Amino acid sequence: NAGVTQTPKFRVLKTGQSMTLLCAQDMNHEYMYWYRQDPGMGLRLIHYSVGEGTTAKGEVPDGYNVSRLKKQNFLLGLESAAPSQTSVYFCASSRGGVMIYGYTFGSGTRLTVV
Amino acid sequence: EDQVTQSPEALRLQEGESSSLNCSYTVSGLRGLFWYRQDPGKGPEFLFTLYSAGEEKEKERLKATLTKKESFLHITAPKPEDSATYLCAVQGRGTSYGKLTFGQGTILTVHP
């Protein structure tokens, strides 16, 4: 009964380094999302996916790339980290389709870029 | 563009002191309004979905209501364990693929 699992939970990067955040869900959800959460700015959508092999840009996509090669996994990549990408990153999933469903969130990844 | 504004930013209550949190929204046709609870260091946890004006939903000490312009989260006789950040989000008919627009949240602290 894991739900949505994010790895790693914490990471410190130097400016210019790259890394990949992994999100895995075991609920057979179609839709997956990456959000970042910053103080005073709420949750902002970075990228999302409506199914295996699909990705789309959200509100703040610059500096990030994503891939969804398998339905259960959604990867968020930072090719060249910048201090402005210091944030808490949340992955979420939902069933998708014409019905309206809430999200199931992961526990987050706290990323610091120095 | 969908917008969500939550007030107050922070609320301090004594145990047993009832109050309400506000979520004002503008959206091009509301499909759903969501309330989430977020504990420090954790991801948001789903509480309620409201779909149309006049709808109400309850869970323990929490009751969510919806009008055409805002939603309220009423907390009756709160306990210290109700302390958390409460997030409101909307999905409008102009958005696709289940995307939600979130407010900044209200930080609730309940003192014993």
- Average pLDDT on B80-93 reads 94
The residue of chain B with its CA nearest to that of A58 is B99
A51-104: pLDDT as tens digits: 999 999 999 999 999 999 999 999 999 999 999 999 999 999 998 766 677 899
Q: Name B54's Cβ contacts closer than 8 Å, sequence gap at least 6.
A: B66, B67
Average pLDDT, chain B: 94
Which of A37-41, B20-24, B46-50 tops mean pLDDT? B20-24
Choose among A41, A102, A104: nearest Cβ to B104.
A41
Confidence tier at A1 by pLDDT (50, 70, 90): low
Instruction: Identify which of B85, B80, B81, B86 has the alpha carbon closest to the alpha carbon of residue B14.
Output: B80
Which residues from chain B sit within 8 angstroms of residue A9, using beta carbons?
none
CB of A39 within 8 Å of a chain B CB? The answer is: no
Q: How many CB pairs under 8 A join A and B?
A: 59
Instruction: Identify which of B95, B105, B88, B104 has the alpha carbon closest to the alpha carbon of residue B31.
Output: B95
Confidence tier at B98 by pLDDT (50, 70, 90): confident
Choose among B46, B97, B100: nearest Cβ to A50.
B97
